[in-house]
Structure 1
Amino acid sequence: MASAKRIIAICQSGGGFATNEEDGSLYYSGGEAHALDLDQNTQLKDFKQELSETFECSVNGMAIKYFLPGNKKTLITVSKDKDLKRMFNFFKDLDQVEVFVIAEEQPVVARNVSNTPVSRSSRTTASEAVVPGLADDLFGPRDLGDVEMDDPINQSPLDSYPSGSEEQHRRAAIQWENLITGVDQRFNSFPEFREALHKYSIAHGFSYKYKKNDSHRVTVKCKIEGCPWRVHASRLATTQLICIKKMNPKHTCEGTSVKAGYRATRGWVANMIKEKLKVSPHYKPKDIAMDIKREYGIQLNYSQARRAKEIAREQLQGSHSEAYTLLPFFCEKIMETNPGSIAKFTTKEDSTFQRLFVAFHASISGFRACRPLIFLDSTLLYSKYQGTLLAATAADGNDGVFPVAFAVVDEETDDSWHWFLSELKSAVSTSRQITFVADLEKGISVALQDIFGDDCYHAYCLRYLAKKLNRDLKGQFSHEARRLMVQDLSSAAFAPKLDAFERCAENIKAISPEAYNWVVQSEPKNWANAFFPGVRYNHMTSNFGQLFHSWVSEAEELPITQMVDVLRGKMMEMIYTRRVESSQWTTRLCPLIEEKLQRESSKARSLQVIHSEGNTYHVSGESVEIVAIDRWDCSCKGWQLTGLPCCHAIIVLELLHRDPYDYCLSYFTTESYRATYAESINPMPNVEKPAKSELEGAAVAVTPPPVKRTPGRPKAKQTDTLDVIKRQLQCSKCKGLGHNKRACEHNGITEIETTGTQLLTDMQIEEPEGSA
C-alpha cells in the first residue's frame, strides 16, 4: 500500500510582517523557523500541539496563517480541520508550504467583527495585517483590559474601579507619564512637543490651556486657576530643534477633578484607535467611546467617536475623494493586469463621478459555462458619498453564486439600469437566450427589451411580487388573510402545470376576488412556471447573489477603488478555492446536482411503466405521466423546469437501459463547473499608492459626487420589507382594520390609523414541498 502524500510545512514564529513598497505584497522577517511534516490526514489539534512544543508556546491563542500560491497580499487563517486539509490540497503539488504562527490578537473590539459568512476560511488582506507587538505597545498588554467585557470571568481587575480613579488610567500613565521630563528636553518639532504634552496631561490627569502658541514658542499652564504648573518651550538657536526652557512640574490642584471635563480632539482619538481599527474594521463608535473611557478616562459621545473613526479610517485607507481621482488609472490597471476585462466609468458635465462598470475576464469567460440565467439586484452603499451597487450574478453548475459584473452608480434610476445592462451586453455572449430574474420596477423591464430584445426573457422576482401584493392590498385584509394569499401566490409561481396554478389562484379568489384579479393582471407569463416561456431552473427570486452582496456590505465603507479591489480579492479567492475543491470531485455531475438526481432515482423505484406508444411512455405513480424521451419531455414538467431527468423519465431510461446522466444538461457536469473556474483573476499591484508619473496625463479628471449623507448618526439598513408583514389592529366591535374599539367611529370617535402596537411576523417565501 502506497504511503500517504506528505508535504513540508516551513513554520515561522517570533518575527513580523512588512509591506513591499513596490507591489504592496507582504513578507515575513525575523523570528525562527522549523520544518514539520503534514499529510492530508493531519488533525489541526495535533498540528497545533506539535507547533506548541516546537516553539514552546501555548496552544490557546495561537493563530496559524498562510499565503495562497501566487498571492502575497492575502493571509488565510487555519481555524478548523477543513481549513488545514484545504491548505494541504493547495500545496500538495508544490511539496512545501510557508506557515506563520502568531499570537492571536483578542482586543475588546473583536466582538464587533461581522458574523456574515464570507468564505470557508478567514481572510486577512494586506491592509489588515498587523505587525505583532504594535497593538500591545500602544494599548498595553492584553491582560489589562483587552478582553471581552461581557464575560464576567475574563473581566480585567481594573473594571471594578470607579471611572474617575487613578488606577483606572494606569495604562495611560505607564506609557505617557514621562513624556515631558523637564528643562532642556528636546523635540524635533512643535507638533511633536504638543502631542507629547497632550499625552502627558492625560497620564497625569489634568487639563491645560495655551498662553502662547505660535511657530516660535509654546507656553502652557494648568487650566485650574492658581495652580503653578506651567511649561515653556521654544526653538533652540541655530537649529530646528524645540527645547523646554522653563517648567514648574508641581500641581496644587486636584488633577483628576477636571478629568471628566477633558475634551479629546478627534485627531488624537483617531491616532489612539488606528491600530484597533486595523484588527477590526467593524469597530463600532459606541465601543470606541467605551474603550477610550476605560483606558484613558475621557468621555466621548457617539458623534465624536464616529468622526474619530472616520479620520482613523482615512489615515489607514486613504481619502475617499482622492480615490475618485484615481479612477482613470484604476480602470487601466484592471484591464492591464486582467486582459479581456471591462472597466469603464462616466462623469457628469462638471466632472463629478457618475458610474463605474467592472467585469473581469475570468467572470466573462466563466459565464459561458454557466446556465444562461442572470440575477439582477442592487445594494445601497453606506459610504461617505453613498451611491448604489448594481450586480449581475449567475448560478454555477453546483448552484453556487458566480459574480458576472457589477457597477457603482451615483443613484439608482431607470437610466443607470439602462446603462448597466448596455455594458453587460458587451460583456456576455448573446448567442444564447438569457433569462433575467429581476424586479419589474426601476426601468429594468423596458431596458431589457430595448437592449436584448428577443434574445432574453424577463422573469419577475417572486419576492418583489409578494411585496407588491402585500403593499397593494394593505389595509383591506387582515394579517392572516394577506399571509395566506402570499403563500398561495408562491405556490402558484412554482406550480408546473396549468391546473395546479388555477387551484392556487382559486384559493386566492376564495379569500378575495379583488386579489384574484390582481394576480390575473400581474402578467403570470413572466413569473409562473405554468406559463413562463423561458427556463429559470426553479430560481424564482433575484436575491440569489446574497454572497456577493455580503462582500459588498463588508467593503462599502472603503474608498471606491479599494472597495472594488476588495471585491476583486474576494472573487479571486473564491475562484481559486472552488477550482481546487472541484479537482477532488469524482462524480460526473456536481455534488449538489448529483444528490438531486439520486433523490429522483429513489422516487423512480416506486413507479411503473404501464405501456408505450412509439417513443412515448406512460408512467404510473400518484398520477399517470407521459414521457417523451427523444424530446426530453415529461408531462409533470419537472424535466423541463430543472434540466435534470425527473423520476418518471428515469424509470423509462432504466427500462431502455440508457444512462440518466446522458440526459442531464451539460451545465451541471463537473467538467462545465471546472470550465467556469478555469480562468483566474490576477492581483493589481500599486493601485493604492501609484507613482506620480503614472497619474500624469490622465485624460479625464474625476471628482467625488455631492455628499448625500445627512448629519447625525447614519441610519441602519432597513429590513427587507418582504420578510416582514405588519399585523394591523382589528377592531373587536366593528371588525374593521386600522383601529381598536376605543377609537372606533361607532363609539362616536373618528377612526384613526394606529401603528404603535403593530406586531411583526416573519414571512419567508419558500419553495413548496415536492417542487423540483
Structure 2
Amino acid sequence: MASQKWIVEKAVAWLRKNPNLEAKDLQNKFSEVYSVEVSYGTAWAGRQKALDKIYGSWDDSFQSLFNFRAELLANSPRSIMEIDTICNGDNVHFDKLFVALQPCIDGFKNGCRPYVGIDSTALTGRYNGQLGATCALDGHNWMYPVAWGVIGSESKDNWTWFMSQFKKAIGHPPALAISSDACKGLDGAVKKIKNIKDLPIVDLVDRLRQMTMELWEKRRKIADKLSGNILPVIISELKAKTKGLGHMRVCKNRHKAEIFGNYKDLTPWPHVVDLHEHTCSCRAWEVTGKPCCHALTFIQAGRNVDLGSFVHEYYSVARFKVAYSGTIPTMTDKSQWPNVNMGFKLLPPKLKIGPGRKRKNRFKSSDELGARKLDKCETCGEVG
C-alpha cells in the first residue's frame, strides 16, 4: 500500500516539472508508472502537501508579499505594488492587492490605443478571492496586460479601490475608453492563467510577472522583424476589404466624396467621406482608426495610393515596438528577497470557503457559446 509520505514525495517530483498537474493527472501517473490505484481524495491531499513543500506554507505566503514588493521595487523602482490590510482586534489580515509593472504602464500609454478592458476570474486556492486585471489592445489587437490585483469579491468597494490604484498608475490618458467584463475571464490575456489560480498568493503574483516577461520577449522578437510604417497585418486586412466593393458608386469633390449603394432590400444609402479629415458619416473610420468600406471605395478609386497613410498611428510598427520596448524586472528566488519586518504578521484573509471543489474554468459569456444571430447595422447593412 502506498503511504501518504510516498505519494507526496512522488508528487513533488512531478509537480516540480509540471506545476499544472491536477489530482486526476496524478491518479493516472500513479497507475501508469507504479501500477498503484490511488483514490481521488488521496491524490488531491497529496498534491496539496506537495505544493506546500514546493512553495512553502500558504499562510506564510501573505507575509512574503512584503518581501516580494521590496525585491520588485529594487529592480523596478517605478513599478507599483499596493497591499491593503484589515485589522481584526490585534490581528492584521490581508485584504487586497494591486500590481502594475512600469514597463506595462509605459507601453500602454505610449504604444497602445486608449482602451482598457476590466474583468476578474475566481481564484481556486484555499480561499474564494478574485484575480482582477486591466488589459489593453496593441496594434495587432492582441491583449496587453497593464495591471492586475487580488480582491476578496467583486463588490463596489473592492472595484473602487482597484480602479483608484489603476488611476494612480496610468494618470489621465486622453480619450480613454474603459469596458467592464471585457477580458474574457483573463484567459484570453494569459492562456495558462487557469493553471496557476490555486498557487499561494506570492507565487501567483510572481508567476504573473514571469509570464508577462515571457510574453514581452516573444512579442519583442516579432517586433524586431517588422519594418515599414504600418503593421503588415493591418495593410493585408485593408487590401482584403477592398475586394468586392464594385457595387458602390463614387461622386468625387476633391478630397471629399459621396459614396452610394443599396441595402439588400434595394433601399439606397449615401455616405460622405473626407480623406483629409479621415472621417466617414458611418463613423467607423473615426472609431476604429482604419478606413471603412466606404472610405476604401473612395481611396482605391485613386492611383498609386498608399493605404498606410489613411491608418491611425496606433497601428504603426513604431508604436508596436514601443509597447514592448520596456524590460520586465527580473527577480531572484524568494529565499534571496529582502526580509521586511512590518512589525506584524500578515494573516490570510477571513473569507468563507464554499462547499465542493472550485471550478477552474470560467463561465463563458453568451457571445462565446457558439453560433448566434449576428446583429446588422441599420446604417450600412453589414453584420458583426
Match of 1:421 among 146, 160, 163: 163
Report the Cα distance in structure 2 between the residues aligned to 1:365 and 1:326, rounded to whole angstroms: 27
Could you tell me which residue of structure 1 aligns to residue 265 of structure 2?
none
- Could you tell me how far 1:281 is from its partner in structure 2? 2.3
Equivalences for 1:431-580 in 2 at 5 Å? Answer: 431-439=173-181, 541-543=182-184, 545-580=186-221
1:322 aligns with 2:322: no
2:23 corresponds, among 274, 285, 299, to 285
Q: For 1:468-499, what per-residue CA distance to the aligned partner results, in whole angstroms no more than 9, with x for missing partners?
A: xxxxxxxxxxxxxxxxxxxxxxxxxxxxxxxx
In the TM superposition, 1:570-609 aligns within 5 A as: 570-603=211-244, 607-609=248-250
Q: Label 1:273 to 1:615 Cα distance change in 2 as closer, same or farther (>3 A).
A: closer
TM-score, normalised on structure 2? 0.86
- Name the aligned partner's letter for residue 325 of structure 2: A
Q: Partner residue of 1:483? A: none
Q: Is the 8 A contact 2:135 2:183 kept in 1?
A: no
Alpha-carbon contact 1:375-1:544 (below 8 Å) kept = no
Q: Is 1:650 matched up with 2:291?
A: no
CA 1:669 to 1:408, structure 2 compared with 1: closer, same or farther past 3 Å? same
Deviations 1:38-93 (A, max 9, x none): xxxxxxxxxxxxxxxxxxxxxxxxxxxxxxxxxxxxxxxxxxxxxxxxxxxxxxxx
Aligned partner (choices 282, 294, 300) of residue 636 of structure 1: 282
2:342 partner amino acid? A
Pairing 1:706–2:358 present: no
User: How far has the Cα of 1:646 moved from its partner?
Assistant: 2.2
Determine if contact 2:194/2:361 at 8 Å carries over to the other structure: no
TM-score normalised over the length of structure 1: 0.44
Secondary structure, aligned partner of 2:336: coil
Superposition deviation, residue 412 in structure 1:
2.0
Q: For residue 118 of structure 2, give the secondary structure of its aligned residue in structure 1.
A: strand
Distance 1:595 1:327 in 2: 46
Separation in 2, partners of 1:544, 1:723:
13
Q: Is the 8 A contact 1:653 1:659 kept in 2?
A: no
Q: What is the deviation of 1:294?
A: 6.2
Residue pair 2:185, 2:362 contacting (<8 A) in 1 also: no
Are the aligned partners of 2:271 and 2:282 in contact in 1 as well (CA < 8 Å)?
yes
Pair 601,586 (structure 1): closer, same or farther in 2 beyond 3 Å: farther
- What is the alpha-carbon distance in structure 2 between the residues aligned to residue 716 and residue 554 of structure 1? 8
Could you list the per-position Cα deviations for residues 272-306 of structure 1 after superposition, in whole angstroms to 9, with x for gaps in the alignment? 22212223323332343454456656553221221
Task: Work out whether residues 367 and 394 of structure 1, in 8 Å CA contact, stay in contact via their aligned partners in 2.
Answer: yes
Pair 1:398 & 2:140 matched:
yes
Are the counterparts in 1 of residues 121 and 362 from structure 2 also a CA contact under 8 Å? no
Find out whether 1:719 has 2:363 as its counterpart: yes
Q: CA RMSD in A?
A: 2.8
In structure 1, distance between residues paired with 2:344 and 2:336: 17
**2:104 aligned residue:** 363
Partner amino acid, structure 2, of 1:361? Q
Instruction: Give the match's secondary structure for 1:357.
Output: strand
Counterpart Cα distance in 2 of 1:762 and 1:656: 41
Aligned to 2:41: 303
Relative to 1, partners in 2 of residues 1:766 and 1:681: Cα closer, same or farther, differing over 3 Å? farther
| Equivalent residues of 1:401, 1:547 under 8 A apart | yes
Aligned to 2:122: 380
Q: Is the 8 A contact 1:375 1:545 kept in 2?
A: no
Q: Give the equivalent residue in structure 1 for 2:266.
A: none
Is 1:333 aligned to residue 55 of structure 2? Answer: no
Q: Taking CA–CA contacts closer than 8 Å with sequence separation of 6 or more, which of the two structures ends up with the larger relative contact order?
A: 2
* Whole-Å separation in 2 of the counterparts to 1:436 and 1:696: 36
Judged with a 3 Å threshold, the aligned counterparts in structure 2 of structure 1 residues 581 and 270 are, in CA distance, closer, same or farther, namely same
Report the alpha carbon displacement of residue 645 of structure 1 after superposing the two structures with TM: 1.6
Aligned to 2:258: 618
Q: Note if contact 1:376-1:393 (Cα within 8 Å) is conserved in structure 2.
A: yes
| Structure 2 counterpart of 1:685, one-letter code | T
CA distance in 1, matches of 2:293, 2:246: 8
Deviation at 1:633, TM superposition (A): 1.8
Q: Once the 2 structures are TM-superposed, how far is the Cα of residue 321 of structure 1 from its aligned partner?
A: 1.3
Q: Output one character per residue of 1:523-553: Cα deviation in whole Å (capped at 9) or x when no partner.
A: xxxxxxxxxxxxxxxxxx5528533253321
Q: Which amino acid aligns with 1:579?
A: R
Rounded Cα–Cα distance in structure 2 between residues aligned with 1:273 and 1:550? 24
Q: 1:390 to 1:631 in 2, by over 3 A?
A: same
Alpha-carbon spacing, 1:767–1:399, altered in 2? closer, same or farther (3 Å): farther
How far the C-alpha of 1:771 sits from its partner, in A, is 5.2
CA gap of 1:607–1:680, structure 2 versus 1, over 3 A, is same
Distance 1:277 1:405, change over 3 A: same
**2:320 corresponds to 1:673:** yes
* Match status 1:410 vs 2:152: yes
Question: Letter of the aligned partner of 2:317 in structure 1?
Answer: T
Q: 1:270 to 1:625 in 2, by over 3 A?
A: same
Residues 104-136 of structure 1, C-alpha deviation per residue, up to 9 Å, x if partnerless? xxxxxxxxxxxxxxxxxxxxxxxxxxxxxxxxx
Distance 1:574 1:637, change over 3 A: same
> Structure 2: how far apart are the matches of 1:690 and 1:661?
50
Q: Are the equivalent residues in 1 in contact too, given 2:59–2:347 (CA < 8 A)?
A: yes
| C-alpha displacement of 1:655 | 5.5
Alpha carbons 1:357, 1:407 under 8 Å: kept: yes
- Larger Rg over CA atoms: 1
Unpaired segments of 5 or more residues in structure 1?
1-261, 440-540, 725-760
Structure 1 contact 303–712 (Cα < 8 Å) conserved = no
**Residues 384, 707 of structure 1: 8 Å contact kept:** no
| Deviates further, 316-325 or 580-589 | 580-589
Give the paired residue count: 369
Partner of 1:130: none
Q: Secondary structure at the match of 2:188?
A: helix
Conserved? CA contact 1:321–1:703, under 8 Å: yes
What whole-Å deviation, never above 9, does each CA across 1:220-270 have from its counterpart, x for those lacking one? xxxxxxxxxxxxxxxxxxxxxxxxxxxxxxxxxxxxxxxxxx4x4433311
